[in-house]
Each structure stands twice: as C-alpha cells, then as structure tokens.
Amino acid sequence: MRSIAAIFLLALSGFAAAAQPMNDEAFGRHVLQNYKAGSPQGKPVEIGLKVVALPTGELVAPRIAVPPSDEGWANTHLLVGCSDMPETKAWTAYRLSATSDFAHFDDTEAYETRSAPRFTVMLQGCKLTAEAPTGSADEVKDRNIALRNSTENLRIGPTFVCADWSKCPGLAQVVLTESAAPHALGKADVALVQPYQILRHALPADQQKLRAESGKFSEAVVKDCRIPKRINAEDPHGNAEGTDRFAPCVAKAYARQRALWLAAVDALNVPGAAEEARREPAEHWFLQSLLKFHGFLPDTTRIDGSYGAGTRTAIAAAQTRAGLPADGFMSDAVALWLMARP
C-alpha cells in the first residue's frame, strides 16, 4: 500500500530553484494536483508556511487541506513536526521557515486503523517567527482547526475508560477495541450517549428510569449479539483481534436505540436540545474542547464527547457570558459563539 505521506514529496520536485519560499497556497496546490501520483525523494526546498502550535509541540498547517485518500483517510489538515523543534507556546500562530528535505512518517496507529484525522510531515532546519495575535476571524479559524487536530481529538470515542481491558465486560471490550477500527464503535458510542445525556439533563426526575432503560438495552445487546461476559485474549476464537465479528451487530443496535432516544429528545420540543442531538460525534468533542480552551471547563477535564453534569454547567456559564438563555444545551447559538470567540 502506498504511503500517503509520499504525496508531499512531489511538491518538492521542480521547486528547488524557486526564488521565493513556497507558501501555503503553492504548497497546498501541488499537494492537491499530485495527490495520487508517486514521487522520488524530494530535493531541498525553501518553504514559508502559516502554522499554529499545539500543546504537544506539534504544528498544524491549517490552510493546507488534504483530500480523502483511496486508503480511507479522512479529510484533514497537515501536521508538521521538526526534528530540531524550537520552543513554542500553545495555540500561538507562527510563520514556519525551513530549507531541507522532507523527512516524513505516517502515524502507525492511524495508518493501520484508517481512523485518525491527520498525518505528519517532518522537517529539519525549522525556524519559527511568532505572529502578533489580532483576534481576526482568520486567526480564530486557524486556531479552531488546530484545536480539531490536537492529539486529544485524534480518535473520537468511546465515552468511557477501562484501565484493565481484560477485566472489562465483554461489550465494553468490543467497543474499546473497535473504536480504533473501520467499524468506528467509538463514534457510535458518542452518538448513542449524546441524546441519552440530553434526556437526563432535561428530565432530572426520570434519571433513575433512564439508567434502568440503558442497563436493559446493554443487556439486550450482549444477548442479541452473543457477546461473552469476558473476551479471553488467549482464545483464538475470542481474542481482541476477533472483536470485529461482534461490531456490526453492536453498531446496528446502537443506531436503533439512538433513534429512539432522538425521538424522545424531539418530543421535548426544546430547540437547543434538538440542535445538540443532531451533531456529529466529532463536533461534540470539538465543542467540548472549546469549552475547556475558553476556561469554562477545568484544564484537567477529559474530553469524551459526553455532556455530563460538569459540561452542562460549563455550557450554561458560556450561555450566560454570551447573553443567551442558560439552559445547559449546546444550541447552535452558543456553539457559534464559542467558535467565534478569540
């Protein structure tokens, strides 16, 4: 299988003698033009790209969009790493200058699972010049793209953590294992939990009833999909790699139950609740990340796409700051306010 990072090498050939650094537009244009073509090792080339620093030290080139590939990669924005990375400040915009070969690598986990929304190109001889923030719409857009591509948002779902996989219930083992696989049960779990959490928030008197309904649903999934109580990693017919045989059944069951809970959300006749419920799982992660970035959630908050009590309180605080009704639902209005906030 051809390495997707090789598409960036072709952008180098023919540009070694360019008098001006290759900018965002030129680099992006050649990535798109030569997307499906192979390439020999590139020659040293001078580049000058707009990047935004992540807390991990990685850099996002937010204005260089990459199309989906034949291998199943999602639309993404390029991440850049430097073998001699200068010190950076998180979420700060920089002008990156480098004159070197592209030393590239694929994220191994992403390449194997085809689920990660990014890949990385490594450079040497990097120089970064910080750009003074102005709070412009373009800067906010670049920041949001960087936030979407942060390591914390690399893989969406599931909404729960199990420290010892071998001791998890069989259903949890399946969801955890297949969250990194093409079946994407992690996203299915986030999509399932979101309308459930909306109902819990909207109907506090019914929380015990909802918990019982959720428990019965999980029991039914285990029974109908014939999932063992524990999956024995040493059993060739039930090891972690074999969980994919349960995944299609679990995904269908999750979709059916999500539809039932969505209908119940619609019956609430609360516009903000309905707007929240229809968003894609990745958007829930992104908006929760924005709540954390803007200080409405503590820095220690784990981003999981599930809006529990703490996130509801944070949403209400953001709504109050924005001059909106503080009902705790992630309405389109508060989502747009968060995305536009410098």
pLDDT, tens only, 184-218 = 799 999 999 999 999 999 999 999 999 999 999 99
Q: Residues with Cβ < 8 Å from 290, sequence gap 6 or more?
A: 144, 147, 338, 339, 341
The model's confidence at residue 103, banded by pLDDT at 50, 70 and 90, is very low
The model's confidence at residue 144, banded by pLDDT at 50, 70 and 90, is very high
- Determine contact, residues 122/190, Cβ cutoff 8 Å: no
Q: Which amino acid is at 223?
A: K
Instruction: Give percent of the chain above pLDDT 70.
Output: 72
Q: What per-residue confidence (pLDDT) applies to 1?
A: 37
Question: Taking 50 as the threshold, does the pLDDT of residue 17 lie above it?
Answer: no
Decide which of 35 and 79 is more confident: 79
pTM: 0.81
Edge-to-edge strands, sheet with 127-130: 103-105, 120-123, 76-82, 59-66, 45-53, 93-100, 127-130
Decide which of 12 and 297 is more confident: 297
Q: What per-residue confidence (pLDDT) applies to 63?
A: 81
The domain ranges of the chain are 4-148, 165-340
- Provide the token pair at 17: 């003698």
Q: What per-residue confidence (pLDDT) applies to 239?
A: 57
**252-310 per-position pLDDT tens digit:** 999 999 999 999 999 999 999 999 999 999 899 999 999 999 999 999 999 999 999 99
> CA 135, 136, 138: angle at the middle one, nearest 5?
125
| pLDDT, the chain, mean | 80
**156-179 per-position pLDDT tens digit:** 889 999 888 888 999 999 999 888
Q: Which amino acid is at 300?
A: T
Q: Residues with Cβ < 8 Å from 75, sequence gap 6 or more?
A: 65, 66, 67, 68, 117
Q: 3-state SS string over 10-28?
A: CCCCCCCCCCCCECHHHHH
The model's confidence at residue 334, banded by pLDDT at 50, 70 and 90, is very high
Range among 49-63, 95-109, 292-306 with highest mean pLDDT value: 292-306
Q: What per-residue confidence (pLDDT) applies to 250?
A: 97
Question: What's the mean pLDDT in 300-322?
Answer: 96
The label of the residue with tokens 């605080």 reads 317
- Provide the token pair at 281: 């799982």
The model's confidence at residue 111, banded by pLDDT at 50, 70 and 90, is very low
Decide which of 47 and 220 is more confident: 220
Helix (H, G, I), strand (E, B) or coil at 128: strand
CA torsion through residues 243, 246, 252, 257, sign: negative
